[in-house]
Structure formats: C-alpha cells, structure tokens
Structure 1
Amino acid sequence: MRIGIDVGGTHTDAVLLNGDDVVSSIKTLTTADVSSGVFNALEHVLSDSQVEAADIEAVMLGTTQFTNAVVERRQLSEVAAIRIGLPSGRGLPPMSGWPADIAGELGGHGYMLHGGTLYDGRPLADLRDSEIDSVVEDIRHKGLDTVAISAAFSPMAAGPELAVAEKLRAAIPGVNITCSHQIGRLGLLERENAALLNAALLKFSERVVRSFGEALVKRGLSCPFYISQNDGTLMDAEFVRQFPALTFASGPTNSLRGACKLTGLDDAIVVDIGGTTSDIGVLQGGFPRESNVVIEVGGVRTNFRMPDILAIGLGGGSLVSADGAQIGPRSVGHKLVSEGLAFGGGTLTATDLLVAAGQLELGGDTRPVSLDPEVTRAGLATITRMLNTGIERMLPSKDRLPVILVGGGAVLVSGELEAAARILRPQHAGVANAIGAAIAQIGGEVERLVSYREEPREAAIKRLSQEACAQAVAAGADPASVRIADIEETTISYMEEGSTRLRLKAVGDIARINTGVAA
C-alpha cells in the first residue's frame, strides 16, 4: 500500500491506495507550515482505513513550496553564477533580463570564464586555470557557499562544468553546486537560469525534505518517501535535495496522471478545476504533453521540462459579474466557505450559479441561492463557453478527444461540452492529484544533438535509450521495469550535417517497493 499527498496553495489532498483501489481519501486545508497539513492528512487516511503504519510501503508527495518560494521571493540563497563560454556572450552576463527583486535576492554575483564547447563537442575555447582560480578565490572571499555553473552546450559535453566544480569543492568544503547540464535542456541562457533558481533553493530544499521526513516519523512511518517532479515521475529524498526546481508545476502533472489512472485513457484532454483556476492539459501516451516553449517561473525564463498547461480564470470560487456574462479571474479561493452566497456570505461565485440552478447540492449548513433566472442562465453559458474555448485551444488536432473532469471544482460542469468527444467524471476525481502522486514512477531523460549522417538513427536511439534508462535506475527505478516512454526528434535544418535534436524519456517502477527494501 502507498499514500499519495498533493500540497496545493489552498488544499492538501491525500489518498491511500491498495494496489489500484482507493482505500481512503481526504481533502483538507493547507496549513501555513505545510508539514502540519501533511501530518493531518496522513492521520486521517491511516485512522479512517485502520491500516497499520508498518503496512505502508511508500509515501509520495507533490508540493508547490519551491515554486511559491520563487514567486514570493523568499527562502532563496545568494548564488555565485559562473558561466563558461567566453569569448562569446560577453555582452549578456548571467541574470540578464531578470526582475530586479529576484536578482537582488540572489546577490548579483556573476562570473564569466573562457571555455565551453560547440554543439558537436569541439572546444569553443580552452579553460584557463588562472581565471578559474581567481573566480574561486573571489567566491571564497565573499563567503558564498552556493554556486551555479553553466557552460555552452554542456548537455553535449559536461567536462568544462565538472572541471570548475571540482576546483570549487577543493577550495570551499561543503559548497553547494548546481551544474546546468544536470537540470536544463539545450539553450544556454534558459538552462543557466534554471540552474541558478535550483541553486538558490538548495538550502531551503534541505529544510523541506527534513520537515516532510519528520512528519512521517511523527506518524510512525518508516517507509521511504518520494516527491513528484514536473514530468510525471518521482524523485527520492536525496534527489530532491539536489534538484528542488524539478518540482515546478508538479501539481497539474499529478492531476493528469491521476486522470489517466482513474479512467484508463492514455490520450485525452484533462480539465482540473480548482477554487481559482481551471488547468487544461493533454494526455499523450499516459503522460502529460510537454511544453516546447520557454517557461517563465517567477518572471525568469527557463527551459525546464514542463507540462503544456492552459490555465484559465475559472474555479469554484471565481467571482461572477452581476449579469453573469463574466466569470473570474478574481476568486474568493479558500474563503468560498465563508464568502459565497450558498455559505451565508455576500459574494456571487461560480459555485452559487450551480446551486441556484438546482444542479448542485452542497449539504451541511449551506443555504439555497435565489438568483434572477437570466443571470443564472447567462452564468452557466459563460462557464460552458470558457471551457469549450480552452479545450479547443489545447486539442492536438481538429479531432475531438475525450475530456476528463477532475478537481474539487469539477461540479461546475453539469452538462455536456461541445468541444469534447465525450465527458468522463470518474470516481475520486476530487483527489486525482493525490492519486497521480501515488502512482507515479521514477524517470530519466536525455537530450542530445546528433547527426544521422555520422551515426545511424537506430544506433543513436539505442545509445541514448541506454543513457536515459541508466539515469532512471540511478534515480531509484527497478531496472527490470524501466522502459522508454517517449522519443522526440526535431530536425535542426539550419545546422550543418542536418543535425537532429533527440530527446528520450525512460520510466520505471520504484525499486524499493518492488524489492521490499525499507529506507
């Protein structure tokens, strides 16, 4: 048995699974310190199910804490940014184009060194030991203990980054280092930004991982725990300590994976309706379709692997205009239970429209809602129009797909949607995100530029498949279960030799669960 927990800005959802069966679930308010909310969720599912703590094989957590830290400019460490790429890029130093407030939080410590490689692995310039020694000494003198290192085309040839990292570790014992080739994709500036954000979160990550571990121990759990990352797979505790930024956007990813599990559909549109927004994503082959555009996190351009999500301002707490013609983007959020008309408040929300139309019964101490029938009709039509427009924008082709409704706000859709081939409202849809966390697998990903003129396509795919599978195993996957889940090929027509960008993703089951090894 395993437990999945998803910590959102408003709610913390938890589910206990025995195989594929949902034994217990809970949706509770997220607490300010997060760990208390996690403990409360654990307490509920264990007490409700009467399952012994010793029977839990693993706990999977999805959290927005690291995203929130970047967005809110808190819990960030000062970072020394080292870029290896001179003589190129001198006019565009590290953190160029960043919002001033977050750049200030990281301290503005930028260094540029000669070195790096071209796309085919040939040297761009030689590393200069005197330059490196000077930078290392300045970092040591400033008392900095966190560094992000990036180099031109380092995913193709990581040697320059590793060489500088080695000198840093020799000179500054205990230094925290993020090398960009470990976390970002091709594209120097965005990959450098990703490494910087990750490095800034390393100390906070240590505290978060420790806090989650303490919550589990407090409840008597001795099993390993994992944290969701944004491609639908998991990281073990040690991996999260090194790469906290890989959790960005893991919430929507968990919802898509949970929708896949609840319906058995590998290809569909998933609409996750919460209290403030509706996140619309695409399932392809059982995993979220990934975005191919630059992703901004807290105003910083990055090239993280992120799910392709369209967020629209429609949720259960969304404010409704007096005539019902406009809904959102403002929302009462978690205050719905006190400010919505159905709860005795004075604010007209999307939930109130359903209650007024007789399409939703909330029960408890809620009240009936009386509205002008024209306002109710117009409001419901606005909800339908917003969702149809969003779904049509996300369709991968002109052909309609099944639409899976999940999230606590899924009750907003009572009828059919023209943009959907059909609508599915699975049981336990309200905690699909926690289910997605509970069923997630371990993953590994490799991205390279290859030339099929120099290496046959089959050989290149085989070589990178082995690398991706090795990464998944190193991250904690059972070698016997690892498989290639996705292959993406993009021809780079403007580069010599007809180069192709080749990306492979491997996934596998958690080795510790499969082998019964305790943490």
Structure 2
Amino acid sequence: MRIGIDVGGTNTDAVLMDGDSVLADAKVTTTPDVTDGIVRAVQDLRGRRDFDPAAVTGVMLGTTHFINAIVEARDLAPTAAVRLGLPATQSLPPLVEWPENLVNAIGGHTYMCHGGHEYDGRVISKLVPAELHRIADELTANEVRSVAVTSVFSLVNAEFELEVAEILTERVPGLRVSLSHEVGRTGLLERENATVINAALGELAERICDGMVETLGAIGLHAPLYLSQNDGTLMGVDYARQYPVMTFASGPTNSMRGAAYLSGVDDCAVVDVGGTTTDVGILHRGFPREASTEVSVGGIRTNFRMPDVLSFGIGGGSVVRQSGGEVEVGPDSVGYRLRDEALVFGGKTLTATDLVVAAGRAQIGDPGLVASLDGGLVTAGLSHVTDRITGTVDRMRTSRAPVPVVLVGGGSVLLPEELPVASSVLRPEQFAVANAVGAAIAQISGDVDRIFAIQPGQRDAALDTAKQEATDRALIAGAGPGTVEIVEVEEIPLAYLPGNATRIRVKAVGDLARDASAPSTAAPFRGAR
C-alpha cells in the first residue's frame, strides 16, 4: 500500500492505494502550518479505512512549501551567485532584473570569475584559483551558507563547476553548493537564476524534509518519503534536500497525472479547479506538456523544466461580486476559510460554491442558506466561470479540433457536463482527490537536456548517449531495473551555432523499485547535512 498527499492552498487531499485501487480518500482544510493538515489527512484516512502503518511502502507528497518561500521572499538562506565566464558575460551580472525584495532576502552576493566553455567544449578561459580563494574568504566573513555556481555552457562540459564546488567546500566547511548543470537548461541567465533559487532553498528543504519524516514517524509511518516533482514523477527525500526547486508546480502536475490515471485518457486537456485557483494543462502520453519558454517564478526568469499550465484565480472559494449589472467571480478567494465564510456554511461571503449549490449542481453545506439567491446572479456567475475556463482551454489546445477535457478538483463542480471546445467532458470517480492520486501513482524519471556537436554519421550515437544517460539517471533516482522506458525525445538543430550543433532532450521514466527502502540521489550530495 502507498499513501499520496497533495497540499493545496485551500485543502489537503490524501488517498490510500493498494495496487491500482483507491481504498480510501480524505480531504481536510489546509492549515497555516501545513504539517498539521497532513497529519489530519492521514488520520482521516485511517478513520475511513483502517490500515497497518507497517504495510505502507511509500508516502508520496506534493507540497507548496518551497515555491511559497520564493513568492513570499521568506526562509531563504544567505546565498552567493558565482558565475564562470570572464572575460565574457560581463554586460549582464548575476541577479540582473531580480525583484529587490528577493535580492535582499538572500544577501545579494554576486561574483564573476574566469572559466566557462564554448558550445563545442572549447575553454573560454582557465580557472583562476586566487579568485576562488578570495570568494571563499568573503563567504566566510559574510556568513554565506549557500552558493550557486554557473559556468557558461556547463551542460556541454561541467568540469569547471565541479572543480569550483570542490575548492569552495574545502575552504568553507558546511557550505551548500548548487551546480547549474544539475538544475537548469540551456540559457545562461535563466539557468543561473534557477540555480540561485535552488541554493537559497537548501536550508529550508533540510528542515522541511526532516520535519516531514519526523512527523510521519510520530504517527507510525516509517515508509520512505517521496516528494512530487514538477514533471509528474517522484524524487526521494534526499534528492529533495538537494533540489527543492524541482517541486515547483508539482500540485498542478499531480492533478494532471491523476486525471490521466482515473480517466484512462492519456492525451487531453485537464482542468483542475481547486478552492483558490484553476489550472489548465495538456496531457501528452499521460504526462504534462512542458513549457517551451522560460518560466517566471516570483518575478524571476528561469528555464528548469516546468509544466505548460495556465493558472488563474477562479475556484470554489472565489468571492462573487455584482456591480452595475456585471457579475465577477474571483480572483480573490476565501481559501482555507471556506467552511467559515461561505454562505452555505453559515458565513457572510458570497462564493462560487454558493452559486453551484444554489443552482442545484452540488450538495455542499446547507442549501437552504442560499435558496433566496437571485437566479440571474447565479446564472451569470456560473456563466462567467464557464466562459473563463473554456477560453483558457481554447488557448492551450494546438488545433481548432475539439479535445477531450477531463475535469478534476473539488471545485470542478462549478462546470457543466458539456463545454464548447470539448469533444467529450469526463469527470472521473475520485475527481476531487485526483491530485493525491497523481502523487501516489507517480513514477521515477531521469532527463537530459544537452547540446551536442554532431559530426556527419554520428546522429544515432548522440541520441543513444542521451538516452542512456537519461536511463541511468532514472535508475539512480530509484526506478526499478527493467521498468525504464524512453517517453520523450526532442532534437532541435541550432542553426545559429556552427558545427551541426543540436539540442537533444530525452526523458526516461520507470516504476518505483519495489525493494527500494530509501532511494538514492541522482548526483552526489555536496555540503552540510
């Protein structure tokens, strides 16, 4: 058996699964300290279907802890950004265009040093040890505990990043180091930004992961803990300590994976309506379509893998207003206070949930408390929700042809059984906890995103190299031997670079190893624990 948990802004959902079967599900209100909500969700599961904690082989958790820390600029470690590339890259220094509050939150320590490579592996300039020794001394003096190292074209050759990490950790005991070739993708500034974010979250990741393991252990769950990644797969808790940035957007991803699993449809649009927001994405072969451009996180441009999802402020807790004959729903929401503030629960705030109950589409709270709502207001409000979501699905599809649409999330009761852009509308059983199901059934992945200088007749060899590297990463991360398969291969010729330069992206996915009591990490751990 395994337990899947997903922490949302309004509700924390949990499911108990045995093989392909959902034995029990629970939905509780998210608490300000989300750990309390997780404990309540697990206890609720046991109340619905008692189970032996020793029989649980894994706990899979999707959490918003880390992206919230960036958005709110809190709980971030003093972090330095070290870039290797001089005499190139001087015109745009590290942390350029970062919001001032985030720069202040991490201390704003930036350094530019010699090093880096060209796209074909040629050295731009050699490392200068004296520069690194000076940086190490300044890190110690300023009590900087984390550092992000980014070298030009490190995805082609990472030797300088590895060497710098070794030098700095030798001179600054306990220093945490994040390397850009392990975090981001092609694009210097965006990869550097993603690496700095990852480094700044390192201490928080340590506390959160340790706290989660301790909390689950206190209620009798000693099974391995896995965290959901933003590509729809899992990572072990040790991996999460190193790469907390990979949890960003794991909530929508879990919902999409759960939608595919529950509906049996692998290629479709997924609409996940929660209590605060709606997320719309596209599934391809059962996995979320990835964003092809840089993604803004807290006002910072990044380029690590993220699902191509459009989110906006409409959910079950969205506040409804009427002004001048116009009805607006959201973007503000009562969130986890829904059971205190919505009319159907005796509150005083008109929410989208009140509209759907008044329309007779759902049995939530006390329908008598909204029986007197104006019918025109109810119809206009629900039409506003439908039009907004339909328009977003229309933006996400790649052709004019109608697409299957799968509705999940507790707030999806806001939508009718037919949508203009949909060839079919499916609302599977357990739709309200699809995000927790997605976490529970997630697999292990390994991915590669590199630039190859492909010589004539060597294309197949380059592809084989990338596929093998992705497969090896999945196995190291905890996938079972014999279960790994390549699910995505993308070749992008880079015409602006000489030498038949080609960007190759490969993703490998496998089932969680049945005998894995504690998954290993995909890269050696650097820094203090």
Partner of 1:441: 443
Partner of 1:84: 84
Partner of 1:271: 271
Query: Secondary structure at the residue paired with 2:496?
Result: coil
Q: Contact (CA 8 Å) 1:324, 1:382: kept in 2 or not?
A: no
Following TM superposition, by how much is the alpha carbon of 1:438 offset from its aligned partner in structure 2, in angstroms?
0.4
Aligned partners of 1:122, 1:366: CA distance in 2, in Å?
74
Overall identity of the aligned pairs, in %: 48
My pick for the range that moved more, 285-294 or 449-458, is 449-458
Following TM superposition, by how much is the alpha carbon of 1:364 offset from its aligned partner in structure 2, in angstroms?
5.2
Which string of whole-angstrom CA distances, capped at 9 and with x for unpartnered residues, describes residues 10-31 of structure 1? 2111000011111011111122
2:488 is matched with which residue: 474, 486, 489?
486
Following TM superposition, by how much is the alpha carbon of 1:473 offset from its aligned partner in structure 2, in angstroms?
1.2
Query: Secondary structure at the residue paired with 1:481?
Result: coil
Which string of whole-angstrom CA distances, capped at 9 and with x for unpartnered residues, describes residues 355-402 of structure 1? 222222224586233233322222232222112111100102222211
Letter in 1 for 2:81: A
Tell me which stretches of 4 or more aligned residues in structure 1 moved more than 3 Å.
Answer: 363-366, 451-455, 516-519
- Measured at CA, do residues 230 and 161 of structure 1 come closer, stay the same or move farther in structure 2, by a change above 3 Å? same
Aligned partners of 2:370, 2:70: CA distance in 1, in Å?
41
Partner of 1:240: 240
Partner of 1:474: 476
Partner of 1:410: 412
Query: Secondary structure at the residue paired with 1:461?
Result: helix
Aligned partners of 1:365, 1:312: CA distance in 2, in Å?
27
Partner of 2:127: 127
Following TM superposition, by how much is the alpha carbon of 1:471 offset from its aligned partner in structure 2, in angstroms?
0.8
Query: Secondary structure at the residue paired with 2:464?
Result: helix
Following TM superposition, by how much is the alpha carbon of 1:324 offset from its aligned partner in structure 2, in angstroms?
5.2
- Measured at CA, do residues 365 and 350 of structure 1 come closer, stay the same or move farther in structure 2, by a change above 3 Å? closer
Q: Contact (CA 8 Å) 1:343, 1:365: kept in 2 or not?
A: no
Partner of 2:161: 161
My pick for the range that moved more, 38-47 or 7-16, is 38-47
Q: Contact (CA 8 Å) 1:450, 1:460: kept in 2 or not?
A: yes
Aligned partners of 1:333, 1:250: CA distance in 2, in Å?
19
Aligned partners of 2:196, 2:419: CA distance in 1, in Å?
43
Query: Secondary structure at the residue paired with 2:37?
Result: helix
Letter in 2 for 1:9: G
Superposed counterparts of 1:21-420, under 5 Å: 21-322=21-322, 323=325, 325-363=327-365, 367-420=369-422
My pick for the range that moved more, 372-381 or 99-108, is 372-381
- Measured at CA, do residues 491 and 60 of structure 1 come closer, stay the same or move farther in structure 2, by a change above 3 Å? same
Which string of whole-angstrom CA distances, capped at 9 and with x for unpartnered residues, describes residues 107-134 of structure 1? 1111110110011111111111222222
Aligned partners of 1:223, 1:382: CA distance in 2, in Å?
45
Which string of whole-angstrom CA distances, capped at 9 and with x for unpartnered residues, describes residues 17-72 of structure 1? 01111101111112222222212212221342121011101000000000011111
Q: Contact (CA 8 Å) 1:344, 1:366: kept in 2 or not?
A: no
Aligned partners of 2:342, 2:44: CA distance in 1, in Å?
27
Aligned partners of 2:380, 2:105: CA distance in 1, in Å?
46
- Is the counterpart of residue 458 in structure 1 residue 464 in structure 2? no
Aligned partners of 1:38, 1:348: CA distance in 2, in Å?
28
Q: Contact (CA 8 Å) 2:344, 2:365: kept in 1 or not?
A: no
- Is the counterpart of residue 432 in structure 1 residue 447 in structure 2? no
- Measured at CA, do residues 145 and 373 of structure 1 come closer, stay the same or move farther in structure 2, by a change above 3 Å? closer
Aligned partners of 2:516, 2:453: CA distance in 1, in Å?
43
Following TM superposition, by how much is the alpha carbon of 1:353 offset from its aligned partner in structure 2, in angstroms?
2.0
Letter in 1 for 2:28: T
Aligned partners of 1:143, 1:330: CA distance in 2, in Å?
40
Letter in 1 for 2:64: T
Aligned partners of 2:368, 2:6: CA distance in 1, in Å?
27
Aligned partners of 1:474, 1:59: CA distance in 2, in Å?
19
Letter in 2 for 1:133: H
Partner of 2:507: 505
Query: Secondary structure at the residue paired with 2:196?
Result: helix
Aligned partners of 1:208, 1:137: CA distance in 2, in Å?
30
Query: Secondary structure at the residue paired with 1:367?
Result: helix
**TM-score, length basis structure 1:** 0.96
Query: Secondary structure at the residue paired with 1:59?
Result: strand
Aligned partners of 1:337, 1:438: CA distance in 2, in Å?
27
Following TM superposition, by how much is the alpha carbon of 1:483 offset from its aligned partner in structure 2, in angstroms?
1.1
Which string of whole-angstrom CA distances, capped at 9 and with x for unpartnered residues, describes residues 391-416 of structure 1? 10010222221100000101101331
Query: Secondary structure at the residue paired with 1:16?
Result: strand
- Measured at CA, do residues 382 and 436 of structure 1 come closer, stay the same or move farther in structure 2, by a change above 3 Å? same
Aligned partners of 2:317, 2:8: CA distance in 1, in Å?
15
Q: Contact (CA 8 Å) 2:78, 2:144: kept in 1 or not?
A: yes
Letter in 1 for 2:484: V
Query: Secondary structure at the residue paired with 2:389?
Result: helix
Letter in 1 for 2:402: R
Query: Secondary structure at the residue paired with 1:431?
Result: helix
Following TM superposition, by how much is the alpha carbon of 1:454 offset from its aligned partner in structure 2, in angstroms?
4.2
Q: Contact (CA 8 Å) 2:224, 2:517: kept in 1 or not?
A: no
- Measured at CA, do residues 518 and 503 of structure 1 come closer, stay the same or move farther in structure 2, by a change above 3 Å? closer
Q: CA RMSD in A?
A: 1.6
Q: Contact (CA 8 Å) 1:343, 1:366: kept in 2 or not?
A: no
Query: Secondary structure at the residue paired with 2:423?
Result: coil
Q: Which runs of 5 or more residues in structure 2 are unaligned?
A: 520-529
Aligned partners of 1:163, 1:294: CA distance in 2, in Å?
28
Aligned partners of 1:272, 1:109: CA distance in 2, in Å?
40
Q: Contact (CA 8 Å) 1:257, 1:288: kept in 2 or not?
A: yes
Superposed counterparts of 1:10-21, under 5 Å: 10-21=10-21
Q: Contact (CA 8 Å) 2:341, 2:348: kept in 1 or not?
A: yes
Following TM superposition, by how much is the alpha carbon of 1:518 offset from its aligned partner in structure 2, in angstroms?
6.8
